[in-house]
Amino acid sequence: MLSDEELIRLIEGGESDRVEFTVATNDLDKFRKAICAFANDLPGSERPGILFIGIDDKGKCANLPIDDALLSQLGGLRSDGKILPFPSMEVDKKNLRGCEVAVVQVEPSDNPPVKMDGRCWIRTGPRRAQASPEEERRLTEKRRWGNVPYDMQGVAGATVENDLDMQRFQNEYLPAAVSPEVLAENRRDEREQMKALRLVTRDGTPTVTAILMLSKNPHDWFPGAYVQFVRYDGDEVPAPILDQAKLIGPLSDQLREADRLLKLQISTALDTKGERHVEKPDYPFIALRELVRNAVVHRNYENSHTPVRVTWFNGHIQISSPGSVYGAVTKQNFGTPDATSYRNPSIAEVMRNQGFMERFGMGILLARQALAENGNPPPEFDVQDTFVFATIRKSR
């Protein structure tokens, strides 16, 4: 966070391409648009943008109450799934010359364009507006390709023409990722659209994410990128196999098929303990769904040919994901609400756009809640050097 002296100088200089004032305290979309615009840094200042909450348009103190609830709400905007890719930002409460303000500091993104609900916002001078196609193109050209994570890197030898299902891109993904108004006004060709959405590199090579999500045969490039399901009649291996399946194809197809398969495997019994007799599943579908999706999104696609495995025993289910913890997530804080880092941010973005994730960082929390409500024990996590294992046990 900038020093108090630097923040005061920015306030004294008035609104600009790096500074926005607001007296609103509950207009979350206004905050998101400001964060998005600062992250895009269209003027190329390469310096953080600052949103001051509690300062009016003339730069005067509005004497607003700045409480912990507001600060928590502002901090949550980073990963609520509305702004993609994730912005790098800090939130703090400051007392600047006797004026209490909430300060949101946003760093320029390495991977623009950053969008809010499929719309790209920019700031030039004191003006904030939706970016034109030409301005989006300029943002794409600013991308620091050398710094991108693995899932945004190009797949050598792959081409858009031979390896991507462009009908799927046009009919399924593009309408989910870009707002209808922008699509209606957009006259860019497919290559420019895919480049803006981080699905091809500067030279037009499909990225890892594009192959995994849009390829006709992603396993040709990533042999381990599938989900292996096995159900045993017993509580350990070896035991007779009751059912098995190999879920292949684009990751979205794998997850849809996994949902269907999980629902078929869940057994329901009549719970007669309470005043009303109700049907109770041995496992809540939501918990299994979230943990499988978590395993697919967070797995290591770079140097592992091992699939995500769902192994169903009589008394428990084990889900294994290739790859260990990543970034700010450690073996000690794994599974806690504040521990969120994405090995595959581009895959996570596509999943969010397609509706497989409601909010980033919520999968394990949703699983915990569903298990508790159904009477199952909490999920158990075993984080190894090359795998993460999640174990879910039957309801009591």
Residue-averaged pLDDT of the chain: 90
Answer yes or no: are the C-beta atoms of 100 and 136 closer than 8 Å. no
**Residue partners of 79: CB distance under 8 A and separation at least 6:** 86, 340, 359, 360, 361
C-alpha distances out from residue 344 to 201, 231, 294, 307, 356, Å = 16, 29, 11, 16, 15
For the chain, the farthest-separated pair of C-alpha atoms sits apart, in whole angstroms, at: 74
Average pLDDT of 97-120?
Answer: 93
- Answer yes or no: are the C-beta atoms of 94 and 4 closer than 8 Å: yes
| DSSP type of residue 325 | -
Q: 341 phi and psi, to 5 degrees?
A: -145, 145
Question: What Rg value do the Cα atoms of the chain yield, rounded?
Answer: 23
User: Where do the DSSP E strands lie in the chain?
Assistant: 19-22, 49-53, 83-84, 89-96, 99-106, 115-116, 119-124, 127-130, 227-232, 241-247, 268-271, 278-281, 308-312, 316-322, 380-383, 387-393
pLDDT of residue 233 exceeding 90: yes
Q: Kindly state the percentage of the chain with pLDDT values over 70.
A: 94
Q: How far is CA 25 from CA 124, 229, 258, 335, in A?
A: 24, 48, 41, 31
pLDDT at 68: 94
Report the pLDDT value the prediction gives residue 180, as an integer from 0 to 100. 79
Higher-confidence residue: 196 or 313? 313
Q: Residue length, the chain?
A: 396
Q: Is the pLDDT of residue 145 over 90?
A: no
Query: How far apart are the C-alpha atoms of 323 and 98, rounded to whole Å?
Result: 49
- Of 11, 2, 95, give the one whose Cα is nearest residue 52: 11
Judged by DSSP in three states, 115 sits in strand
Residue-wise pLDDT for 37-90, tens only, equals: 999 999 989 999 999 999 999 999 999 999 999 999 999 998 888 898 889 999
Place of tokens 């497919």: 190
Average pLDDT over residues 257-261: 97
What integer pLDDT is reported at residue 239 of this predicted model?
95
As a whole number of angstroms, the distance between CA 354 and CA 255 comes to 11
Res. 338: pLDDT tops 70: no
For the chain, which domains are there?
Answer: 4-129 (3.30.950.30), 148-218 (no CATH), 227-393 (3.30.565.60)
